[in-house]
A and B are shown apart, each in its own frame.
Chain A
Amino acid sequence: MNRLLANPFIRIALGFIAPLLLFGWWQWQTSTHVTTFAPPSAIGKAFAEMIGDGTLASGIQATLRRAFTGLAVGAPLGIAIGMATAVWRPLDRVLSPLLNALRQVPMIGWLPLMGLWFGVGEGTELIVVSMAAFFPSMLNSHAGVAQVERRYLDVGRIYGFTTPQRFRLILLPAAMPMILTGLTQALAFSWIATIGTEILMGADAGLGVTMQLAQTQQRLDMMLVVLAATAALGFAINQAFLRLRRFLLRWQPSAL
């Protein structure tokens, strides 16, 4: 079996088994429950339609822009604050209780308040997506730096490292596996938060907006196209990120 898995084609082909089974079951279901299931054949038509009028492209573009803008704001801030609180105890004492309490509120829970403060719109959505990216980045970066082994810091002292050297050559690389774990979570959370806020608050365009629209128009086929697009995009982004992670952590034994 392991020898089979060594073949990249077989490895990829195995990943298609479950989706194809799902697809078959679905086709079978649509022949008996016509109203709640759209047949896969109808999806193809809807897909062509949504490509044609540009709904899909503009939706994907708007959602990606929102998710990555939020990530670009929230994640660096989270990494910076997480590392700073791990290095500097007083800051930790001041900030961590508040932040740890705030993170108990689910992202969706912020929407009513944020809507009241900033109005329903792009700004509010970006704040919520940024927050979704911020917390996992902060927590994991903090843990990563806090877990740096003293024996490595001793080496830095012996060779007279300055504070910037200690940060760049010890703390940052030693914490990197955890920082990247945080980023993986931030990526997933900001993706969820983006689509969630799009559904709940609406916007000019976006995959969530299209889903909402499809629901009001009872377009089951459209809804399924958007779902499939969301799943595929999220999967592709995650895969790309895993590659980046493997490259950045190439110094680790590849036993896992």
Chain B
Amino acid sequence: MSVDPLSRPETKAQPLQKGALTISDLNKSFVIGKKPRLVLENIELTVQPGEFVSIVGASGCGKSTLLRLIVGLDDEYSGEIRLDGERISTTSLDRGIIFQDHRLFPWMTLEQNIELALLNTDTPKARRAQIVADHIALVNLKGFEKAFPHQLSGGMAQRAAIARALVTEPKLLLLDEPLGALDALTRVHVQNELQRIWMAQRSTMVMVTHDVEEALYLGDRVIIMSPNPGRIRRIVEVDLPHPRDRRSPLLHRLKDEILAELTTGAAIGNAPSNLIHLHGREER
């Protein structure tokens, strides 16, 4: 799964693949106090169809901004973001996103909240109720169909948000610190569910998190970003089959390495050196 950005395949070479994300020479700046401020610099990333990529980094490294660009909520950037060869300029039902806050509409029941995702799809109306019910079952929320969001716990609401994002079967699912607001126990539980769902659906997923353990547990690769401006500093391959064992020594060794990497502070500048591949192989 090693991908060298310098020799990445041309987008035309992968027409049959679904959910291939290619980001090249992406730069993004915000105007803060009348001065432009670079938040993402020279981002190069290729995500294979069906791959799970985690992104970790200090706050302010532009992780969430990157996801907003990929999902199409913000289209002011230079460079290229392509999904299956098509340049991204606005939102699309091909791309889903789960935010840190569940963003269920408080005025709708759980069921209605999930069904609204199907509103503009070509799913036949007759089948929608069944699809919604299936997804509610998938995230273990059976019996709460008619509940309003304020009646759900944080973990339940977040699982409902996951169901809403999955119901359209997006080719690419973006997860913006989806479990950040959950308590440790619930988080582990939802991580397991996420892994199970991903293994069943195999859509491409890109998850931003500040939890290194979570990034390693779920990701095929972990992208380490450094702040000011946000750059990709390292890409760590996690060469372990799914479902994974949390106690795996490899995961623990990689976790220590990544934490060391994140806490060494100052980013080392030039572009080529910020793409060092740490190959993790399980010692047997």
Query: Which residues B92-118 have CB closer than 8 A to chain A?
Result: 92-93, 95-97, 99, 101, 103, 105-108, 116-117
Interface flag for A173 (CB, 8 Å): yes
Please determine whether B116 and A252 come into contact, CB atoms closer than 8 angstroms: no
The proximity string for A residues 154-165 relative to B, scoring 1 for CB distances below 8 Å and 0 otherwise, is 110111111001
A176 within 8 A of B: yes
The distance in angstroms between the C-alpha atoms of A250 and B108, with both chains bound, is 10
Asked whether A161 lies within 8 Å of B103 as measured between CB atoms, the reply is no
Q: Which residue of B lies closest to A153 (CB)?
A: B73
Of B96, B101, B107, the residue contacting A151 (CB under 8 A) is: B101
Task: Name the residue on B nearest A176 (C-beta).
Answer: B107
Give the residue of A159, A250, A251 whose beta carbon is less than 8 angstroms from that of B116. Answer: A159
- Chain B proximity of A221: nearest CB distance (Å): 50
Task: Check B144 for interface membership: any CB of A closer than 8 A.
Answer: no
Report whether A251 and B120 are in contact in the complex, using a CB–CB cutoff of 8 Å: no
Q: Which residues of A contact B150 (CB under 8 A)?
A: 251-253
Closest residue on chain B to residue A250 by CB atoms: B148
Contact A252 B106 (CB under 8 A): yes
B120 engages A173 (CB within 8 Å)? no
Shortest Cβ distance from A149 into B: residue: B103
- Assess the A159–B107 pair: CB atoms within 8 A: no
The binding surface of chain B is classed by DSSP as loop
For A159, give its contact among B72, B93, B106, B148 (CB under 8 Å).
B93
Number of interface residues of B (CB under 8 A): 23
**Bound complex: CA of A22 vs CA of B21, how far in Å?**
76
- By beta carbon, the residue of chain B nearest A248 is B107
Interface status of B258 (Cβ within 8 A of chain A): no
In the complex, whether A60 has a CB less than 8 A from a CB of chain B is: no
The residue of chain B having its C-beta at the shortest distance from the C-beta of A165 within the complex is B119
Confirm or deny: B192 has a beta carbon within 8 angstroms of a beta carbon on chain A.
no
B103 pairs with A151, CB closer than 8 A:
yes
Q: Looking at the complex, which one of B91, B101, B105, B168 makes contact with A173 (CB distance below 8 Å)?
A: B105
Q: Are B107 and A161 interface neighbours, CB within 8 A?
A: no
Query: Cβ of B72: which chain A residues have Cβ within 8 Å of it?
Result: 157
Given A169-B105, A170-B105, A160–B148 Cβ distance below 8 Å?
no
Q: Who on chain B is nearest to A173 by CB? A: B107
B130-151 with Cβ < 8 A to chain A: 148, 150
CA distance A160 to B120 in the complex (A): 7
Q: Give the shortest distance, in Å, between A244 (CB) and chain B (any CB).
A: 16
Q: Tell me whether B71 is interfacial, beta carbon within 8 Å.
A: yes
Closest Cβ–Cβ distance, residue A153 to chain B (whole Å): 10
| B73 lies within 8 A of A158 (CB) | yes
List 4 A-B pairs, minimum CB-CB distance, nearest first.
Answer: A173-B107, A160-B120, A253-B150, A251-B107
